[in-house]
Amino acid sequence: MKFISLFFLLLCLISCQHTPTIKHKSIDDNIERAKAFSAKNLSNKVHNFSLTAHWIDDKADEFWFERYSEKRGQEFVRVNAHDKVKTPLFDKVKLTQSLNLEEPIDWQSSPLSHVKFNGKVLNFDINNQPYRCDIVASPYQCRSASKQKSQDKTRRYTSPDKQHFVKVENYNLFLCKTSTQDCKQLTEDGSESSPYAVTHSVPNKRLNDEGFDEQNHLGLYWSENSHYVITYRLFRQGVTKLTLTDSTADNDFNVNSVRYYYPQAGDQTLPMAQVVLIDVVNQEASALNAPKVMQTYYGRALWGYWHKGDFYYQDRRRGNKTLFLRKVIAKEKQVVSVIKETNDEFIDPWVQVSYHLNNKSHVIWSSQRSGYQHLYLYDTKTGSLINPITQGEYTVRAIRGVDEENGVLYFEASGKEKNRDPYLRHLYRINLDGSDLTLLTPEPFEHNTRLSPNFNYFIDTFSDAKTPPQSWLRSAVTGEKLTQLDQANIGQLTALGWQPPEPFSVIADDGVTPLYGLLYKPSNFDASKKYPVINDTYTGPHNFFTPKSFSTFANTRPALAELGFIVIKMDGRGTSKRGREFHRVSYKNLAAGTDDHVWAIKQLAKDRQYMDINRVGIYGFSAGGYDTVQAMLRHNSFFSAGVSASGNHDFRVDKAGWNEIWMSWPMSEAWQQQSNYTNVERLKGKLLLAHGELDNNVHLSATMRLVDKLIDANKDFDLLIMPKMGHVLDEHPYFVEKRWRFFIEHLQEDNE
């Protein structure tokens, strides 16, 4: 009897010793399965997802597009829109014979790139070698072409007539003759703290290039007639400087660091740019009498364009409650305000559009003044409103073209068609006087449209979360479908076992507002089982983030779901494209971004017994990284685990250009109250913080300050700092797998 007892005890010990090995093998197998569902891998299994039409210059009704055939490889199709006929753009055999290459062309590898066609000559590259082929001739006449020489850095700023160029030395402006290289110095008061024309380049360029000189990267605009240049003088004395450090820069154990300007939210001083006009004929530069323009991020300080001899630019005043469209009258060296847009809370610069008509002194201007994003027609000479073009409870998303000869505007909008997802885009046409609004794409899908140059046709690629894209040629007058051009091939995708996510809609806690999202399941989903739930979050107010087309596979969620999770992606109140009332929820209220997510998950679980909302995780990056930590603190009894990457955990350590729009300026108590550094003592769940050491968007200090607060509060958490990585950690497979294993460890019952 003792022998039997000892035998079973030994057997139990052996079994217990082997259990972890079996468990880890199962996890590793699941990880390998998830890798097959990565965004990159799934994207490679979808062909002809979109269609880009290239209209042929001298053939008003003809265009070509590229596609891929599993049997024939890369293909180029020519379309006669008038006759609705499709033919090959060229004969592959004739092209191969004319090129006479040493190796045969492997069309399965899509060898042709940078393809251009003017109706006679086909230009393209094969293996980085340019070729030029006359495909009208018989036989084809092909020859290799010379590679374009890289442009001299100063010559990028050459006038349209090629007679002059502008350069900056010692932070001052020089006007030079192209023929002689003779230069005249136009300014003498430039300095490092107040340079002319320089842009704020990302600091990584200086880390990677010891010879990098910001004076070779300029912000300036030549007039069409080459008589004038618009640029600026940038005043940046007292602006915050940060340090970017590469701890693994080389093999001699040195550390590389650079200091750089970073306009930080809430700072008293931001870079300010004075508009400067260069008169080429008189060879002089003049500072114009106009308010200085603030620079709030990288790049140039002034963004604008020339139109019919005048220069236009948008001037957003600090606090983001006032926006001007200003005009520089170059001949008079004068700046006038054309349009002034105001709002008591914020003006969203991410959706601001100005579209000038060529035949009249009119500009189409976008505004949310009515409560929805709409288009208005203004007189640029007087600044007076001529008429609203679009009106109603819907959101204009994009201008697709203006047929000035017939006075017709084509635009995409969402939310107008009832009883469907209000984010779905449709194409409309309307007269510029606001009459005769016509829906051209009535199908309840997400439509991506492009007009033909003669406004007779448009290309419409439409799909939704469950329906693969199909591309059609349609009439721009009636919207009639003329001929189908292509359809996405998802055979390899479905062969893998991939299934599209489930679109859902729930009513918010106000009992009125519908919220929309997607629910992802593993391919071996079993409704009788219980699955932990993970929320993929990003609630930035500058957009919405749930895919409406078939592109639902091209992200991090399918792979995560494949590990045995239900993954939720949705947009709550405070995000964009649903009207002003929906949008303004985020004003001075970014901390509430995930409130609707918590509510929605609870509602979904009521009739989906497979959702275990006692095991809920959350992850996100950048503003989604902020969301993740804020949600772990704000809803600490709901979220059990979170992975926060590259988070802007306090608005005061992030860029002015984004945070001040939504949180307003000057700073209020809301900035402190909604900081992730506040209330860290509320953390209960498991938290992984991750950040790239070379993040130039949200500085590493944003996470390290949070780490300091968590340590002071004696909180347990995990930290991953990734050398050589910038803002987007999802680009590195190590981080992706780290996130997978973190959720497996802390949310799946088998691993508790």
Per-residue confidence at 383, pLDDT binned at 50, 70, 90? very high
pLDDT of amino acid 9: 44
d(CA 709, CA 720): 16
Beta bridge mates, 569: 518, 536
What pLDDT, on the 0 to 100 scale, is given for residue 250?
Answer: 76
Please report the pLDDT score of residue 1 as a whole number. 47
Q: What is the pLDDT of residues 38-58, one digit of tens each?
A: 999 999 999 999 999 999 986
Q: Rounded to whole angstroms, what are the CA distances from 136 to 68, 75, 140?
A: 24, 18, 7
In the predicted model, is pLDDT for residue 23 greater than 70? no
Band (pLDDT 50/70/90 cuts) for residue 134 is: very high
Query: For position 3, what pLDDT does the model report?
Result: 44
DSSP assignment, residue 646?
Answer: S
3-class SS string, 472-527: EEEECCCCCEEEEEEECECHHHHHCCCCCCEEEEEECCCCCCEEEEEEECCCCCCC
> In one letter, which amino acid is 444?
P
* 3-class secondary-structure state, position 751: helix
CA 21 from chain centre, in angstroms, equals 43
Q: Which residues make beta-bridge pairs with 506?
A: 515
Mean pLDDT for 462-468 is 98
Q: What is the pLDDT of residue 13?
A: 45
- Residue 105 is encoded by which pair of tokens? 């062309």
Of 26-40, 133-147, 603-617, the range with the highest mean pLDDT is: 603-617
Cα 472 to chain centroid distance, Å, stands at 26
Q: What is the pLDDT of residues 349-360, one digit of tens each?
A: 999 999 999 988
Do the beta carbons of residue 742 and residue 688 sit within 8 Å? yes
Is pLDDT at 266 greater than 50 in this prediction?
yes
Strand, coil or helix: 6 = helix
Average confidence (pLDDT) over 456-470: 98
One-character DSSP codes across 79-118: EETTTTEEEESS-HHHHHHHH--SS---GGG--EEEEEE-
Question: Percentage helix, strand, coil, to 5, in the chain?
Answer: 25, 35, 45
* Predicted pLDDT at 643: 99
What pLDDT, on a 0 to 100 scale, did the predictor assign at position 669? Answer: 96
Report the pLDDT value the prediction gives residue 25, as an integer from 0 to 100: 65
- Tens of pLDDT, residues 636-648: 999 999 999 999 9
User: What is the mean pLDDT of the segment spanning 482-489?
Assistant: 98
Which position has the token pair 């070698």?
129
10 Å CB burial of residue 251 (0-12, 13-18, 19+) is exposed
Q: Are strands 310-316 and 293-294 parallel, antiparallel or unpaired?
A: unpaired
pLDDT of residue 22: 53
| Least-confidence region, from 208-217, 474-483, 500-509 | 208-217
- Asked whether the beta carbons of 653 and 608 are under 8 A apart, the reply is no
Rg (CA), the chain: 29
The CA distance from 500 to 549, in Å, is 11
Least confident of 57-61, 227-231, 740-744: 57-61
DSSP E strands, 572-626: 611-621
Q: How far out from the chain centre does Cα 461 lie?
A: 20
CA dihedral 185→190→192→194, nearest 10 degrees, is -140
Q: Is the pLDDT of residue 2 over 60?
A: no
Q: Give the mean pLDDT of 158-174.
A: 97
CA angle 225/229/232 to nearest 5° reads 160
More confident residue, 327 or 103: 327
Any idea what the Cα angle at residue 241 is, between residues 236 and 245, rounded to 5°?
Answer: 145
Cα diameter, the chain? 112
On whether the CB atoms of residues 101 and 133 are closer than 8 A, the answer is: no
What band does 751 get if pLDDT is binned at 50, 70 and 90? low
E runs forming strands in 188-320: 221-222, 228-235, 241-246, 256-261, 272-279, 284-287, 293-294, 304-307, 310-316
- The rounded distance, in Å, linking the Cα atoms of 580 and 351 is 12
Query: What's the token pair of residue 676?
Result: 């992730």
Identify whether the C-beta of residue 719 lies closer than 8 Å to the C-beta of residue 735.
no
**Do residues 233 and 285 touch, judged by C-beta distance below 8 A?**
no
pLDDT digits over 666-695, tens only? 999 999 999 999 999 999 999 999 999 999
pLDDT at 117: 96
What average pLDDT does range 488-514 have in this prediction?
A: 96
**Residue 499 neighbours by CB under 8 Å, 6+ apart:** 521, 523, 525
Q: What is the mean pLDDT of the chain?
A: 94
Among residues 630, 751, 623, 613, the alpha carbon closest in space to that of 687 is found at 630
Q: How far apart are CA 329 and CA 221, in angstroms?
A: 14
Q: Which pLDDT value is given to residue 151?
A: 55
Which tokens belong to 631?
């949600």
pLDDT bracket for residue 26 (50, 70, 90): confident
Cα separation, 426 vs 436, whole angstroms: 16
548-to-420, 425, 484 alpha-carbon distances in Å: 12, 9, 21
Domains detected in the chain: 54-144 (no CATH), 150-302 (2.140.10.30), 501-751 (3.40.50.1820)
Q: What is the pLDDT of residues 268-303, one digit of tens each?
A: 999 999 999 999 999 999 999 999 999 999 999 999
CA 77/CA 84 separation, integer angstroms? 12
Nearest to 117 by CA among 149, 144, 78: 78
Mean pLDDT of 593-615: 98
Percentage of the residues of the chain whose pLDDT score is greater than 70: 95
| Amino acid sitting at position 48 | N
Residue 409's CB is within 10 A of a number of other CB atoms, namely 25
Tokens matching residue 361 = 């002194």
Enter the tokens of residue 312.
């236009």
Q: How many CB atoms lie within 10 A of CB 163?
A: 13
CA-angle at 396, arms to 395 and 401, nearest 5°: 165
CB 457 within 8 A of CB 82: no
pLDDT for the residue numbered 4: 46
Q: Are 172 and 234 in contact (CB under 8 A)?
A: no
63-90: average pLDDT: 97
What is d(CA 266, CA 273) in angstroms, rounded to the nearest whole number?
18
